[in-house]
Amino acid sequence: MGQKNLIKDKLNHTKICQCVVMLYFLVMSVVYPLYAPGGYMHIGEIKYEFFRNVSLAMLALALTAIPVSLLIRGDKGWLVRNYRQMSVTDWFAYGYLVAVMLSYLCSAYKKDALWGVEGWHMGVITQMIFVLIYFLFSRYFHCDLRWLGIWMLSTTVVFLLGICNRYSIYPIAMQGQAEGFISTLGNINWFCGYWSVTAPIGIILYWCSDKTYIRILAGIYSVIAILSGITQGSSSAYLVFIAMLLLLFLLSLNSNRKLYGFLEVCMMFTVSCQLGRAIKYLPGLEYNYKIYDSTESMVSFVLLDSNSTVWVFAILLGCYILFRVLDKRGLFHIEKHKWLWGILTAAVALVVAAAAFFWLFDNGVLGLCDIPPRTPDEDTSFGIFFDEDWGNGRGAAWNCGMEAYRSMDILHKAVGIGPDCFADYVYSVPESADKLIERFGNLRLTNAHSESITLLVNVGVLGFVCYMGILATAFVRYIRRAEEEPVLYLCAVSILAYTVHNMVSFQQVLNTPFIFIILGIGEKYYAGAMQRITAEGTCDE
What is the secondary structure of 153-184 as a DSSP string? HHHHHHHHHHHHHHTT--SS--TT--TTEETT
Percent of the chain whose pLDDT exceeds 90: 46
pLDDT one-digit tens code per residue, 300-339: 777 888 888 899 899 999 989 998 898 888 877 776 665 5
Confidence of residue 384 (pLDDT cuts 50, 70, 90): very low
Strands 186-187 and 366-371: unpaired
Residue 262 — pLDDT band, cuts 50, 70, 90? very high
Distance CA 314, CA 460 (A): 50
Which has the higher per-residue pLDDT, 430 or 406? 406
Cα 82 from Cα 74, distance rounded (Å): 16
Which long-range contacts does 533-540 make (Cβ < 8 Å, 24+ apart)? 533/484
Q: How far is CA 371 from CA 298, 367, 375, 383, 385, in A?
A: 25, 13, 12, 6, 11
Report d(CA 194, CA 226) in Å as an integer: 13
Sign of the Cα torsion 47, 49, 50, 54 reads positive
How far is the C-alpha of 222 from the C-alpha of 200, rounded, in Å? Answer: 8
Half-sphere exposure of 244 (CA within 13 A, CB side): 32
As a whole number, mean pLDDT of residues 436-453 equals 82
Q: Average the pLDDT over each of 252-261, 387-396, 528-537 and give the range with the smallest value.
A: 387-396
The reported pTM is 0.88
Q: Note the pLDDT of residue 352.
A: 64
Q: Is residue 283's pLDDT more than 60?
A: yes
pLDDT in tens, 68-121: 777 776 666 666 677 777 899 999 999 999 999 999 999 999 999 999 898 889
Whole-number Å distance between alpha carbons of 262 and 383: 37
Confidence class of residue 533 from pLDDT cuts 50, 70 and 90?
confident
234: Cβ–Cβ under 8 A, 6 or more apart, which residues?
188, 189, 191, 192
